[in-house]
Amino acid sequence: GENVEQHPSTLSVQEGDSAVIKCTYSDSASNYFPWYKQELGKRPQLIIDIRSNVGEKKDQRIAVTLNKTAKHFSLHITETQPEDSAVYFCAASSTDKLIFGTGTRLQVFP
Amino acid sequence: NAGVMQNPRHLVRRRGQEARLRCSPMKGHSHVYWYRQLPEEGLKFMVYLQKENIIDESGMPKERFSAEFPKEGPSILRIQQVVRGDSAAYFCASSPTTGSGANVLTFGAGSRLTVL
């Protein structure tokens, strides 16, 4: 089955800097790659997703890139703000179920 | 649209008791997923259901855990004879059947189980 690895596990940045989180997946049939943000004690919320027919997608300060050959995808957050502090999860899906990475705890210091 | 509704939000059980967690998917969604999240850890897939059908239960422990999604009513995750290691947040998610929204999971607020 699918296996998703995520790095780093923790990431601290200064407000205004960029943050990059990387994931790799094992199942070459995977075709859907979402990113979820989870604040402390809250539910995971979808922030951006990409499907295998595109290589990059951007939504304001957030972008995701996908390299299907290398089987990895990345989340880029520019101009980080303190409210970006949360745990971020990547996921991959080849069938109807999502397999999640282990999460990255992002801290943005003012 | 009320979103994915889970109850109870918090549940305390003693070892050996049963826990029942309920999930009502978003209106128009017919797929339900259950994930378990241990403290400070990620989301582990447990089971994927459609109405009256278990599609994939590869993440469910072989014993004590069961799930159903009846024709009428919410999906239920049932844990029998709970142990301390079952303490976790259990998240339910739902998705549409087909179309561009397929695979796009919307999560409920979670049910936090504490086993004493």
Residues B9-27 have pLDDT tens digits of 999 999 999 999 999 999 8
Q: What is the mean pLDDT of each run of 10 residues along chain A (110 residues)?
A: 93 98 94 95 95 89 95 97 97 87 96
3 state SS of B85: helix
Is A89 in Cβ contact with B43 (below 8 Å)? yes
Cβ contacts of B30 within 8 Å, gap of 6 or more = B50, B51, B96, B97
CB contact residues (below 8 A), chain B span 42-101, against chain A: 42-45, 48, 55-56, 58, 91, 95
Q: Is B102 on the interface with A (CB under 8 A)?
A: yes
Q: Coil, strand or helix: which one is A99? A: strand
Least Cα separation, residue B3 to chain A (angstroms): 12
The span from the CA of A84 to the CA of B9, in Å, is 25
More confident residue, A55 or B101: A55
Contacts with A49 from chain B: Cβ below 8 Å: 104
Q: What is the dihedral of CA B24, B28, B30, B34, to 10 degrees?
A: -40
Q: Is residue B101 scored above 60 in pLDDT?
A: no
Condensed to tens digits (0 to 9), the pLDDT of residues B25-83 reads 998 888 999 999 998 889 999 999 999 999 999 999 989 999 999 999 999 999 999 99
C-alpha dist (Å) from residue A110 to A17, A40, A64, A80: 11, 19, 24, 10
